[in-house]
């Protein structure tokens, strides 16, 4: 940055000097500063008041007359017409000319100066044009990117000599670190592998959802090995100019070979490595030319030249097969979402440098954040720190972490938003419909809080509390989830005899789950058959003629089964709400008054207990044991009541 500033100052100084030279040259034209007029000069000449006069005759018809009046020390210079002024001087009396000091000479004009002015002006114009073109191409200040540097790689080379990013900074990825640790050992001791004929992988592809730490893992490899690290994004290869991408690939690998051993990291490689033949341009597409060059360079990258390519993507399914074959990306490392132990380790990393209160238990926070990636957990701790500073606290406590969790999971509440009483009532019954079914069904998570305060684009929310990490989803759990999603629409229909658009997102999600059950997971009477393909996006050119792998009759059957799943779930939701209509009405009326109730309060309402109507009870989102205990207690009481009712019916039958 300093180099660019110095270069810019130098250019400005040069331009300033040239401008001064031109202005100075312009001033040499003897442009006069007129003090007295020509009429005053002629009057003073005829009266003999001119003390001295100098006439500079030029090559054209203009002369410059410098004169002074007797008794005055000031001089005046005025332009005159040569022929007319010479004729006028001849008419003056001889005594006037004799009493006046008169000098007359011809001014010689240099032919060099006008030419010099033209050359300087043209040179300045060319210089300014080149300067601005270099700035537009990022070449100001000696950055090495001139007008013709389109084909140069945009990779940034860093040498982590101090090892500032190491495996210690990568938490929750123990198995992934083991996969790449041998790369570090090879870069440090290549002879150990070459002597026994071992070939280190040329390339490693890191695959996983966004925010799981793929880029951080690649930086840690470079930091541990303390070798040059070239980082570039896949989109940096592709430009509007034909052939630029391939040229940049060549330049990148040349730089890596010159600085061998080195690591080349290509982030989001799917931007340049998509399957060939998937574009309207066919084989002549610019992106495909770039991919072809990348394939060639990876083949030409010597086995033991000390260069290793690491790439990251979250769409490995769309990469070209030639890119994934052994000899190019020999190894794929899946960087998935961390488990509870991994989340705890990640939280410890992001808690460094932050003052934590004694009530903070990162193990409990990790337990209640299933599905969070490393980036999500970093955001959670950062939001908690921001809320702590906003509330003028000196240390982060569990309350601020809880508020940050709700802000990330649900959004910021818009308490100032004006809502009509009718809409508030509809929203209350809708959200209680969701919450009630969450508490009545075993296979879905219990409720943490229910609110009718507008949040984001929603008029309210029902926030469940995840129980645990789930590797699989059972059929019964997916059916229960569909029932819970349709609970809001069912509550509206039961209570008001009408329905609203508020359940649009619920219906969309429920339909998608039902479709996945039928077409992807084989959870229908159609059997364990996969219908359709995994392609989520249409690739222009390749899939225009793509046909689905089932007939029209099967498509009709799929639609019928999806409809049946959703319809049965909706009827089940209405049945559950009708069986608990008193709880639905009471909880909704309380929610209208309080606007927000916790899961603890909601379970009290279900048991028929009274709650504090003046304020919202604060229930810790991390006290999951208490929530689980309340839920078990409720289900046990329901089972005892059902058993007693069944026994009464049996006794009545026996009496009859």
Q: The tokens of 60 are what?
A: 């054209």
Q: What pLDDT is stored for residue 156 in this prediction?
A: 57
SS3 call for 551? coil
208 belongs to an annotated ligand binding site = yes
212 belongs to an annotated ligand binding site = yes
Q: What pLDDT is stored for residue 302 in this prediction?
A: 54
600 belongs to an annotated ligand binding site = no
Ranges of CATH 3.40.50.300 domains, the chain: 161-334
Ranges of CATH 3.30.720.210 domains, the chain: 9-112
284 belongs to an annotated ligand binding site = no
- The strand pairing partners of 597, in sequence order, are 450
Ranges of CATH 1.10.8.60 domains, the chain: 343-409
Q: What is the pTM of this model?
A: 0.67
Task: Flag residues of the chain having pLDDT under 50.
Answer: 1, 27-34, 138-148, 150-151, 281-284, 536-546, 635, 649, 653, 656
User: What's 9-112's CATH class?
Assistant: alpha beta
**For the chain, how many helices (H) and strands (E)?**
23, 13
Q: What pLDDT is stored for residue 547 in this prediction?
A: 56
431 is catalytic: yes
Residue carrying structure tokens 């906003």? 390
215 belongs to an annotated ligand binding site = yes
CA-based diameter of the chain, in Å? 162
Record: fold of 343-409: Helicase, Ruva Protein; domain 3 (1.10.8)
User: What's 161-334's CATH class?
Assistant: alpha beta
Residue carrying structure tokens 């019916």? 649
22-31: long-range contacts at Cβ-Cβ below 8 A with a sequence spacing of 24 or more? 22/117, 22/120, 22/121, 25/113, 25/116, 25/117, 26/117, 28/113, 30/56, 30/64, 30/77, 30/107
CA distances from 82 to 43, 64, 65 (A): 18, 9, 10
421-533+549-641 — its CATH code?
Answer: 1.20.58.760
214 belongs to an annotated ligand binding site = yes
Given a contact cutoff of 8 angstroms between Cβ atoms, the answer to whether 258 and 307 are in contact is no
CA distances from 585 to 40, 421, 579, 596, 617 (A): 108, 16, 12, 15, 21
User: Mind giving me the DSSP string for 339-384?
Assistant: -HHHHHHHHHHHTTTS-B-TT--HHHHHHT-TT--HHHHHHHHHHH
d(CA 185, CA 177): 12
Residue carrying structure tokens 């180099």? 3
Q: What pLDDT is stored for residue 610 in this prediction?
A: 84
Catalytic option among 179, 383, 431, 481? 431
213 belongs to an annotated ligand binding site = yes
């Amino acid at each position: 940055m300093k180099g660019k500033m110095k270069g810019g100052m130098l250019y400005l100084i040069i331009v300033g000097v040239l401008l001064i030279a031109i202005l100075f040259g312009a001033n040499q034209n003897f442009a006069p500063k007129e003090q007295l007029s020509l009429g005053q000069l002629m009057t003073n000449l005829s009266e003999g008041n001119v003390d001295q006069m100098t006439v500079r005759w030029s090559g054209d018809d203009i002369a410059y007359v410098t004169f002074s009046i007797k008794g005055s020390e000031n001089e005046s210079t005025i332009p005159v017409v040569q022929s007319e002024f010479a004729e006028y001087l001849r008419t003056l009396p001889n005594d006037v000319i004799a009493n006046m000091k008169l000098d007359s000479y011809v001014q010689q004009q240099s032919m060099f100066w006008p030419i010099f002015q033209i050359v300087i002006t043209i040179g300045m114009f060319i210089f300014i044009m080149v300067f601005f073109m270099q700035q537009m191409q990022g070449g100001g200040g000696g950055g090495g990117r001139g007008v013709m540097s389109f084909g140069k790689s945009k990779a940034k080379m860093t040498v982590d000599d101090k090892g500032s990013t190491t495996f210690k900074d990568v938490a929750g990825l123990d198995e992934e670190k083991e996969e790449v640790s041998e790369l570090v050992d090879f870069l440090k001791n290549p002879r150990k592998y070459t002597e026994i004929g071992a070939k280190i992988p040329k390339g490693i592809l890191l695959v996983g959802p966004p925010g799981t730490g793929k880029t951080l893992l690649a930086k840690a490899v470079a930091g541990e090995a303390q070798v040059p690290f070239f980082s570039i994004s896949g989109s940096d290869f592709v430009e509007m100019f034909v052939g630029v991408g391939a040229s940049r690939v060549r330049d990148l690998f040349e730089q890596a070979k010159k600085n061998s051993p080195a690591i080349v990291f290509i982030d989001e490689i799917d931007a340049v490595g998509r399957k060939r033949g998937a574009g309207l341009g066919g084989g002549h597409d610019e992106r495909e030319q770039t991919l072809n060059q990348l394939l060639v360079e990876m083949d030409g990258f010597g086995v033991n030249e000390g260069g290793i390519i690491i790439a990251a993507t979250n769409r490995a399914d769309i990469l070209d097969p030639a890119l994934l074959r052994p000899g190019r990306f020999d190894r794929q490392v899946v960087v998935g979402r961390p488990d509870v132990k991994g989340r705890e380790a990640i939280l410890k990393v992001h808690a460094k440098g932050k003052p934590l209160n004694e009530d903070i238990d990162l193990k409990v926070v990790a337990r209640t954040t299933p599905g969070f990636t490393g980036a999500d957990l970093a955001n959670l701790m950062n939001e908690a720190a921001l809320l702590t500073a906003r509330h003028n606290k000196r240390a982060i406590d569990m309350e601020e972490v809880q508020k940050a969790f709700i802000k990330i999971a649900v959004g910021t509440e818009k308490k100032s938003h004006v809502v009509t009483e009718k809409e508030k009532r509809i929203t209350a019954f809708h959200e209680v419909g969701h919450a009630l079914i969450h508490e009545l069904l075993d296979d879905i998570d219990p409720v943490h809080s229910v609110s009718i305060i507008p949040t984001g684009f929603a008029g309210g929310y029902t926030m469940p509390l995840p129980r645990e990490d789930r590797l699989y989803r059972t059929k019964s759990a997916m059916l229960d989830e569909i029932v819970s999603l349709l609970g809001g629409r069912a509550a509206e229909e039961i209570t008001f005899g009408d329905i609203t658009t508020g359940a649009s997102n619920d219906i969309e999600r429920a339909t998608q789950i039902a479709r996945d059950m039928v077409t992807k997971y084989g959870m229908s009477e159609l059997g364990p058959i996969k219908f359709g393909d995994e392609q989520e996006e249409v690739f222009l050119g390749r899939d225009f003629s793509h046909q689905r792998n089932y007939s029209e009759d099967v498509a009709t059957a799929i639609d019928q089964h999806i409809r049946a799943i959703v319809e049965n779930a909706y009827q089940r939701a209405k049945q559950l709400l009708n069986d608990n209509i008193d709880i639905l009405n009471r909880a909704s009326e309380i929610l209208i008054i309080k606007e927000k109730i916790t899961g603890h309060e909601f379970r009290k309402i279900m048991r028929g207990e009274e709650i504090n109507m003046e304020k919202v009870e604060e229930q810790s989102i991390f006290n999951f044991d208490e929530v689980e205990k309340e839920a078990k207690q409720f289900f046990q009481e329901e089972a005892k009541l059902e058993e007693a009712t069944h026994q009464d019916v049996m006794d009545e039958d026996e009496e009859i």
